[in-house]
Amino acid sequence: MKKKKIHLAFDLSWTTVETQWRLPDSWVDRHHPNIGMFEEVARTAERGGFDMIFFGDSTGIPDTWKGSIEDAVRHGVAWPRFEMSPWITKMSAVTSHLGFGLTYASTFMHPFYTARLLNSLDHITNGRIAFNVITSQRRADYANYGHDELPDHNERYDRLEESSTSAARCGAASTPMPSYGIAEPAPWRIRARSARSTTSANPSRSRGRSASFPRRKVSR
Amino acid sequence: VIIQAGGSPRGTRAAAHVADHVFGLTKSIPLMVQQRTDLDKALLDEGRDPDTVGIFWSSRVMVGETESEAHAMRESMIADVPLEAVGVWLSHNTGYDMSQLPPRFSLAELQQRIVAANASPVGFVHLLAKKYGDHAEITREEFFEHGLHAATGYHITFAGTASQLADRMEEMFEATGSRGGFMLSISQAASRQVLQNTVNYLVPELQRRERYRTSYEGKTLRENMLA
């Protein structure tokens, strides 16, 4: 019997604590990040037959520790944060089969905008885009989008399901589709608390809260 | 192609609903088998074929020409890491300011504080509690030592020769239903050697075992991930 093949992907997210930049032969260049490094990683991954290079993304700079981004910036923990879609178009230009995984949080991003962006990227890369849909759970992320608190765990996942369904309909999938066409109106709304959300780990928090996000001015 | 990474029961249900492939954390083999079993059940509930949905297990490999070279590459990940950097990472990922930790505490007590911050119930502290028990008390120093291993990815890094790593990957792959594969973290800060050795030594070893493609099967990512 033919053996099942193992698939490999590279995860190039900047999410862990890194101190190897100071070692000889590090990727880190005089200025970082350098697009040449990303192109070299892409060529090498394609030479190794990898399915894709994946970029996780949390948009926030860590600021929970001592209530400040200071140590995150000093030690380069999840900093700097870039929007990776422009980098992916450059990496796709030096490869022909390697895929690229990109992450957006359905908790914050509108499904139409996300679908249109991913559809465009999928066209420019000839069908090589994967969309990693996340709910996001970090304060630094939701503060950037102007929220004081997150909807609870279950509610975030309810939203992920409905926004992904509409995003998929709009063409995040790489099957041929009419460009930009939304098959039916995206059901983008903040749902009233559903019956299954009552299993929240911390129901007291949501009591008396309206179904929409509280807004605040972003001070940073 | 849609991928999704939820590891909680609600996250697994969402993955079965929306994802073409799933991104999972590398844990002990029994816990990985459990996630695969849960996902398969959720996929069947959605009327989908579990054979078409792979889990990509997140891990890191340090491939050396020799075992000692590989271990030296792994040790460099945790050398001279400032405590503040670990604190930043732990606090960011749990939603709780770890600079406030008392000298001794139980993991159950810490989990309560994290849940109160409305963070995801699956995380570093959860895994630590599974390992040591909810009521085990640990010191701040011990906690940061574990945190260092998680924050740098050291704890999910397998170091060895191509043949040793291929053995381990085949074992995990077969135990979890022979679908999907591995999402190997590489650092933008690391030495080029980490990436080059993976492609130059590990890939040919997997090919020799007929466990890895020798050319891309399709044109699109969707075709290649399903091949």
- By percentage, how much of chain A surpasses pLDDT 90? 33
Biggest CA–CA distance in chain A, Å, is: 61
* Predicted local confidence at residue B72, as pLDDT: 94
Residue A61 to chain B, least CA–CA distance (Å): 9
B148: which residues sit within 8 A by CB, 6+ positions away? A17, B78, B81, B86, B154
Complex ipTM = 0.89
∠ CA A51-A122-A98, rounded to 5°? 20
> What is residue A158's predicted lDDT score, i.e. its pLDDT?
78
Chain A residues inside the 8 Å CB shell of B214: 49
Q: Report DSSP state, residue A149.
A: S
* Burial B148-174, CB ≥16 within 10 A → b, else e: bbbbbbbbbbbbbbbebbbeebbebbe
Show residues of chain B in contact with A37, CB under 8 Å. 188
Q: B221 vs A52: CB contact, 8 Å cut-off?
A: yes
Q: A215 exposed, middle or buried (CB, 10 Å; 0-12, 13-18, 19+)?
A: exposed
Closest CA of chain A from B21, distance in Å:
9
Contact B115 A202 (CB under 8 A): yes
Read out DSSP for B51-104? Answer: GG--EEEEEEEEE-SSHHHHHHHHHTTTTT--HHHHHHHHHHHHSS-GGG--SE
Report the C-alpha gap between B2 and A171 in whole angstroms.
10
Whether A133 shows a pLDDT value over 60: the answer reads: yes
Q: Is A172 helix (H, G, I), strand (E, B) or coil?
A: helix
**Among chain B residues, CA nearest to A197:** B10
Nearest to A170 by CA among B91, B2, B158, B181: B2
* Confidence label for B26 from pLDDT (cuts 50, 70 and 90): confident
Contact A71 B17 (CB under 8 A): no
pLDDT (average), residues B50-65: 94
Range from A85-89, A210-214, B157-161 carrying the lowest mean pLDDT: A210-214
Top-confidence residue, A17 or B174 = B174
* Minimum-distance CB partner of B92 among A19, A25, A62: A62
Distance CA B54, CA B184 (A): 15
- The pLDDT score that the predictor gives to residue B157 is 93
Q: What is the Cα–Cα distance from B89 to A180, expressed in whole angstroms?
A: 38
d(CA B37, CA A112): 33
Percent of chain B with pLDDT over 70: 96
pLDDT given for residue B188 in this prediction: 81
Chain A residues within 8 A of B158 when measuring between CB atoms: none
Q: With bands split at pLDDT 50, 70 and 90, how would you rate the model's confidence at A1? A: low
Q: Do B97 and A9 touch (CB under 8 A)?
A: no
Rounded Cα distance, A133 and B220, in Å: 20
CA-based nearest distance A206→chain B, Å: 10
B5/A132 CB distance under 8 A: yes
CA angle A190, A169, A159 (to 5 degrees): 20
pLDDT band at A196 (very low <50, low <70, confident <90, very high): very low
Return the pLDDT at A220: 36
Q: Do A20 and B190 touch (CB under 8 A)?
A: yes
Report the C-alpha gap between B11 and B19 in whole angstroms: 11
CB contact at 8 A, A45 and B221 = no
d(CA A160, CA A111): 10
Residue contact B79–A152, C-beta within 8 A:
no
Contact list in A for residue B76 (CB cut-off 8 A) is 20, 23
Q: Which residue of chain B is at minimal alpha-carbon distance from A33? A: B188
Averaged pLDDT score across all residues of chain A: 74
Residue of A nearest to B15 (CA): A161
Q: pLDDT for A89-112, tens place per residue?
A: 999 999 999 999 999 988 888 888
Min Cα distance B137 → chain A (Å) is: 22
- What is chain B's mean pLDDT, rounded? 90
* A70: closest CA of chain B, how far (Å): 9
CA separation for the pair A129, A53 (Å, rounded): 10
Residue B171's alpha-carbon distances to B28, B131, B161, B187, in angstroms, are: 12, 22, 16, 25
Find where tokens 């650092």 sit: B187
Residue B149: closest CA among chain A residues belongs to which residue? A17
pLDDT for A201: 37
Distances (CA, A) of B26 to A187, A218, B181, B195: 35, 36, 11, 20
Which chain A residues touch B115 with a CB distance below 8 Å?
A: 201-202
Q: Residue A172 and residue A125: Cα distance in Å, rounded?
A: 13
The shortest C-alpha distance from A217 to chain B (Å) reads 21
Mean pLDDT of B115-134: 73
Q: What is the mean pLDDT of residues A36-43?
A: 93
Q: Is the dihedral of CA B91, B96, B101, B106 positive or negative?
A: negative
pLDDT at residue number B130: 80
Flag if A97 and B2 touch (Cβ within 8 Å): no
Summarize pLDDT for A140-189 with one digit per residue, the tens: 788 888 887 777 777 777 777 777 666 655 554 444 333 333 333 333 33
* Placement of tokens 């849960």 in the chain: B38
Distance (Å) of CA B211 to CA B4, B167, B177: 25, 11, 14
Using an 8 Å CB-CB cutoff, list chain B residues near A66. Answer: 87, 97, 99
Best A1, A12, A65 member to test B by mutation, with max B CBs in 10 Å, is A65
Of A12, A41, A71, the CB nearest to B84: A71
Average pLDDT over residues A65-72: 94
Helices B29-45 and B9-18 cross at an angle (nearest 10°) of 50
Q: Which positions in chain A touch B178 (Cβ < 8 Å)?
A: 4
Tell me if B91 sits within 8 A of B98, measured CB to CB: yes
**Window from A3-7, A147-151, B62-66 with minimum mean pLDDT:** A147-151
Chain A residues near residue B156 by CB distance under 8 angstroms: none
Question: Which residue bears the tokens 């369904």?
Answer: A165
For residue B14, list chain A residues with Cβ-Cβ distance below 8 A. Answer: 157, 160-161
**A113-117, A185-189, B152-156 — which is least confidently predicted?**
A185-189
The pLDDT confidence band at residue B221, using thresholds 50, 70 and 90, is very high
Give yes or no for a contact between A187 and A176, defined as CB atoms under 8 angstroms apart.
no
Tens-digit pLDDT profile for residues B28-53? 899 999 999 999 999 999 999 999 99
